């Protein structure tokens, strides 16, 4: 997605060879116009999949997921990273291992929002080693609903996430695919 690539070039900050900071439009301050265009792009890419719900992870997945849900006309459920006082019944949980933080965290959603005929699109902000996306898949797979695809705003293609998800048979659509962050330079995969 050209507009997103341009935004990453203009406002992204390379923190290291493996980490990109995008807090000017996605991870802290949010650019609503860009999020709307991201929503339109995901909606178009998955328009023939009969999506009935979107599942994402708080907090940075919510903006692109809600915009996609608005355009597809479907609800959005975000998995929580912390236990909620009010979210107690029928809790589905999955573990996410973070290679960067070297720690495992639990994420959860309430099963009451997922029905057996649901066709679920998973959306997240970044794809690195695929652990967050896999944990979201794991949550959905604890129900009778079907994961029909995974939409990623920014994929770091030099890490293993896409391959891992492909090997498990999932369709992955990434709107920007970064080939390298080496030498403080952002380069994209040529498509």
State which residue, 29 or 50, has the beta carbon closest to ligand 5GP: 29
State which residue, 37 or 56, has the beta carbon closest to ligand 5GP: 56
Query: If 0-12 CB within 10 Å is exposed, 13-18 middle and 19+ buried, where does residue 46 land?
Result: buried
Binding-site string for ligand 5GP from residue 153 to residue 182, where x marks contact by CB under 6 A and - marks none: ---x----x---------------------
User: By CB under 6 A, which span of 14-22, 66-74, 105-113, 115-123 interacts with ligand 5GP?
Assistant: 14-22
- Which tokens belong to 42? 């995901």
Contact between 69 and 139 under an 8 Å Cβ cutoff? The reply is no
Cα distances (Å, whole numbers) of residue 23 to 14, 39, 48, 74: 12, 19, 32, 27
DSSP H helices in 46-148: 62-72, 131-141
Contact between 54 and 31 under an 8 Å Cβ cutoff? The reply is no
Residue 52 engages ligand 5GP in binding (rule: CB under 6 A): no
128 is in an annotated binding site: yes
Q: How many residues are there in the chain? A: 191
105 is in an annotated binding site: no
Residue 56 engages ligand 5GP in binding (rule: CB under 6 A): no
User: By CB under 6 A, which span of 19-27, 68-76, 85-93, 109-117 interacts with ligand 5GP?
Assistant: 19-27
List, as residue ranges, the binding site for xanthine: 20, 27, 156
Footprint of ligand 5GP (CB under 6 A): 19-22, 27, 60, 99, 124-133, 156, 161
């Amino acid at each position: 997605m050209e507009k997103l690539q341009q935004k990453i070039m203009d406002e992204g900050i390379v923190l290291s060879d493996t980490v990109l900071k995008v807090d000017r439009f996605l991870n802290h301050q949010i650019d609503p116009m860009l999020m709307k265009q991201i929503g339109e792009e995901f909606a178009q890419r998955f328009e023939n999949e009969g999506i009935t719900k979107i599942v994402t992870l708080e907090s940075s997945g919510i903006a692109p997921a809600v915009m996609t849900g608005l355009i597809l006309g479907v609800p959005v459920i975000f998995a929580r990273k912390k236990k909620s006082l009010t979210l107690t019944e029928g809790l589905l949980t999955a573990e996410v291992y973070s290679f960067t933080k070297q720690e495992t965290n639990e994420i959860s959603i309430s099963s009451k929002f997922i029905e057996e005929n649901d066709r679920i699109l998973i959306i997240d902000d970044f794809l690195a080693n695929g652990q967050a996306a896999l944990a979201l898949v794991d949550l959905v797979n604890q129900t009778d609903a079907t994961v029909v695809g995974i939409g990623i705003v920014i994929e770091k293609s030099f890490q293993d996430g896409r391959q891992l998800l492909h090997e498990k048979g999932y369709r992955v659509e990434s709107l920007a695919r970064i080939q390298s962050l080496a030498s403080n330079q952002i380069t994209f995969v040529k498509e």
